[in-house]
Structure 1
Amino acid sequence: MAAETTIEVPHLGGIKAGYALSGEYDAAKPTCVLINSMCTTVSLYQDQFASKELTDAVNLLAIEPLGHGVTSCPTEHFTYWDTAIMALQVLDKLGIDKAFALGTSQGGWMVTRMALLAPDRILGLILLGTSMDYESADSRSKGCWDPKGLLTPFFKKWCSTTPTPDFLVDDVWCGMVGSLGFGTGATAEMMQFWTETLKSVYKGDEGRKKLKMALACLLERDGLLLRVRDVTCPVYWLQGTEDAPFGTTIPAEQIKLFTSSKEATLSFIEGGGHYLNATNPKEVGEALLKMVNKYK
């Protein structure tokens, strides 16, 4: 489900950011921010929160992006840069000066923006199942998906000039979120959980607007190919060989663009799906601990 705790930060006139911490914050341990994928919530990281090996070593701080979970703000319009600023302000409010950052799918785009905006605060990036480009013709020619063709009809359906108090996200969208993310590893129980979660978040007029803008952010996001050369922290990029949206060609090209990073590596996870932290939590946990132990 969605986060049970919110914290208010000043960006965009006052955002209430949904977040979850893995137990009481321990200033003696490093912190890792976790940013979830499209239309999921902090619950995407339940395997990481359940790992004693991880939580003994690191404070895990999952933050729900704008347009997701219980996170809300006064303005209907926002971008991925706004979520990155919001996440940095959450760190401020919690008294956390520096952190590692892990992002799944769209979360990878957001945490990379955090590293660009605050290079002195982000100690390292773990990128899971992502791309640093927008859905360009070049990326599509190399096996990446075409979300505009696939998803624009949903966006148009969610636009309305009058209030929609009875809105409820449909089963088709819920099914796509689960099937694209978890792939062949999706179970009936998982699909039911995420269908119920999406329907609890995206309902009524506020839920429709939140969902519409979350999708607009995805469809109109800016690429980072000319910017990632300025990321200075280490980058560990993990990509599943069964990643449906982004495949394996683009990551192999884009990891080479992190030319200023202390270390930039790409690991392919055999059989891994798009939401790697869920389909392959063991490998993700090992990568996170490796980075934290090396760079804390």
Structure 2
Amino acid sequence: MAATTTIEVPHLGGIKVGYHLSGGRYDGSKSTVVLINSMCTTVSLYREQFSNTKLTDVTNLLAIEPLGHGATSAKSEHWTYWDTATMALQVMDKLGIQKAFALGTSQGGWIVVRMALLAPERILGIIPLGTSMDSESADSRTKNCWDPFPIIKPFYEMWSSATETPNFAIDERWCGLVATLGFGNGVPPETVEFWKSTVRDVYRGDEGRRKARMACICLLERDSLLLRLSDVKCPVYWLQGTEDVPFGQTVPAEQIKLFAASKEAKLIPVQGGAHYLNATNPIEVADAILEMVEKHR
């Protein structure tokens, strides 16, 4: 469910970061791939990747739970996706990992781009999955992207409180959204129940309420990366499912062209793929990881 291993990093006055590392320790003879999970999920989103020996035989897989997610907690209540990117780089420091590839699902996609912008000498390549590089803009709505404000803002308002809420339990509707939106049609009932249980466990009590609230704020108010994409020099393999509901097909096809200085930037459509591609289409995702690591390590 949430990560069972944590590590302390200094950003924001101190963050306890939840993470999972394949093999339990860093193997310097292998390339490393950092994995950043989607909204209100945990390192468990990458179960398929951790169980794939073709991946773990040749790479260290390091899944890191962003601020507001899983076992990660910060002294500061306020943070942005830039803070999660800095935090992830500091986790690499603590584990002795100088360079890595980085893969991110949905919100993880724009986090790994921030990592590549902040530390271009350390990020060897990025693999965004089911994402967009824009803010939640009006322009994106004209290109078949979702409008999260009517869905998410009522939860933000419900979770905003001037007093502590020690008995807070997250809304069942939110658990259902997390469990179904990213996995597409035909998601198995056991998958739905697993993620409902995970969300309930992570977001409980006053700390859980504050984490969920700030995760919503970060998503709704994030800054666009469009004017920064030409500064990304590393390879970019962007995978987008043909059944991706939040961000569709138009935006990825336009935005991949903005990685003009990348050593290799390509959009890989995944037929029938839903939003959380690493879960719904693990074979295609593994193939992309192995290709990038082989070509650009």
TM range (shorter): over 0.9
1:149 Cα deviation after fit: 2.0
Equivalent residue number for residue 18 of structure 1: 18
Q: How does 1:95-114 map to 2 (within 5 A)?
A: 95-114=96-115
> 1:261, 1:67 → 2: CA distance?
30
Amino acid at match of 1:130: T
- Residues 1:67 and 2:91 aligned together: no
Equivalent residue number for residue 233 of structure 1: 234
Identity of aligned residues (%): 69
Equivalent residue number for residue 39 of structure 2: 38
> 2:8, 2:131 → 1: CA distance?
29
Q: Following superposition, which runs of at least 4 residues in structure 1 exceed 6 angstroms of deviation?
A: none
1:186 Cα deviation after fit: 1.2
Q: How does 1:194-205 map to 2 (within 5 A)?
A: 194-205=195-206
1:185 Cα deviation after fit: 3.6
Alpha-carbon contact 1:185-1:279 (below 8 Å) kept: no
Equivalent residue number for residue 91 of structure 1: 92
Amino acid at match of 2:124: L
> 1:43, 1:171 → 2: CA distance?
20
> 1:169, 1:187 → 2: CA distance?
22
Equivalent residue number for residue 292 of structure 1: 293
> 1:92, 1:228 → 2: CA distance?
25
Equivalent residue number for residue 7 of structure 1: 7
- Cα distance per residue 1:136-163 (max 9 Å; x no partner): 1111111000011221011000000111
Equivalent residue number for residue 190 of structure 1: 191
> 1:122, 1:38 → 2: CA distance?
22
Amino acid at match of 1:125: I
Q: How does 1:239-258 map to 2 (within 5 A)?
A: 239-258=240-259
Alpha-carbon contact 2:134-2:225 (below 8 Å) kept: yes
Amino acid at match of 2:167: D
> 2:269, 2:225 → 1: CA distance?
21
Specify the SS of the correspondent of 1:139: helix
Alpha-carbon contact 2:273-2:280 (below 8 Å) kept: yes
Segments of structure 2 that go 5 or more residues without pairing to the other structure are: none
The number of residue pairs the alignment matches comes to 296
> 1:55, 1:171 → 2: CA distance?
35
Alpha-carbon contact 2:179-2:193 (below 8 Å) kept: no
Amino acid at match of 1:106: Q
Alpha-carbon contact 1:34-1:63 (below 8 Å) kept: yes
- Residues 1:261 and 2:254 aligned together: no
